[in-house]
Amino acid sequence: MRVMMAMSGGVDSSVAAALLVEAGHDVTGVTMKLWGGASDQGCCSVADVDDARRVAQQLDIQHLVFNFGDDFMTHVVDPYVEAHAAGATPNPCIECNRHLKFDRLVRRADALGFDAIATGHHARVVEGADGARRIARGADTAKDQSYVLHMLGPDVLDRVLLPVGIMTKEAVRAHAGRLGLRTATKPDSQDVCFITATGGRRTFLGERIELHPGRLVDTTGAEVGRVDAVELVTIGQRKGLGLAGDAEPRYAVAVDAQASVVTVGTAADLLDDAVVVGDLAWSGAAPEPGRHVLAQTSAHGLARCVVLEASSEPRTILARWADGPQRRVAPGQSVAFYDSDVVLGGGIVR
């Protein structure tokens, strides 16, 4: 089988490529050039492209580089900036998977006649009783990446391979070591690739939008302080609000970017009975209202039981916490819904 292997320059995609070669597939490694600006972390640096190329040489497979910079700006960077300007907290890695790795790259693979596309994600593709293929949690629960793939449907999953999903991270590194791959001990990327460690969000956003100072008010509307950039505040934030000396910790519980107002409150004020999730994408038939499922609101967060309730808005659902109020989820973040370890779908918090 002809397989296009997405190689980020990390150990997971390196070992995934090696496993496919060992299994006898005709493998071509590809690296997407997404970000042309400064990068000192994540998976977009020149060093990462070089690591991917050298691993491909070690495995004796062809390596190609595709320049998808325009798509990356349109679908990831620009929406990231716009979301912060509106007071939301986006998840650019999910949008990169949605629009680049599993759309743009899949379409390129189809155009070039590949039978399948593979990545180094720690997740599995499983087939249900209905014959539909869905994403499921990877074998290594500490490294599971099914949350960031929750939007993938059967049309894409019919030709997606995730070779390291059945392995622990320790086993991946051990296999890379046995093969002598240069990425065997390379640290995992942790942060947004286009946000530099030296400049951070403030520098990145400040170069693209005007950052506005704003008022901090309590839940009664009384002013209790000031913040120098409303666009940098996210729901649940405590540090950087200038309220560290208060007798009781206070957190950002609401952000109104248009009015330049951040509302702060106690931990109890952060609790919500439910979360409204829009832009829904299901991997199969949408679950019926009243169904109990698991909801995960961050990449490595704890999945909690919710009851799904119908909404009058299209592609929107209300997920009510079954065990009582939970910490508020920031608008712009993603929620993935599970049946045990199998992803049902997900969407974005309104």
Q: Which residues are catalytic?
A: 96, 193
Say how far apart CA 118 and CA 206 lie, in whole Å.
37
Give the per-residue SS3 of 156-189: HHCCEECHHHHCCHHHHHHHHHHHCCCCCCCCCC
**Long-range contact list for 107-116, CB < 8 A, 24+ apart?**
108/4, 108/66, 109/4, 109/159, 112/4, 113/2, 114/2, 114/3, 114/4, 114/28, 115/1, 115/2, 115/3, 115/159, 116/1, 116/2, 116/3, 116/4, 116/159, 116/160, 116/161
Residue type, 98: R
User: Which SS3 state, helix, strand or coil, does residue 71 take?
Assistant: helix
Q: 223 with 216: CB under 8 angstroms? A: yes
Could you give the angle at the alpha carbon of 334 between the alpha carbons of 35 and 277, nearest 5°? 140
In sequence order, what are the residues at sequence separation of 6 or more whose Cβ sits closer than 8 angstroms to the Cβ of residue 166? 124, 138, 139
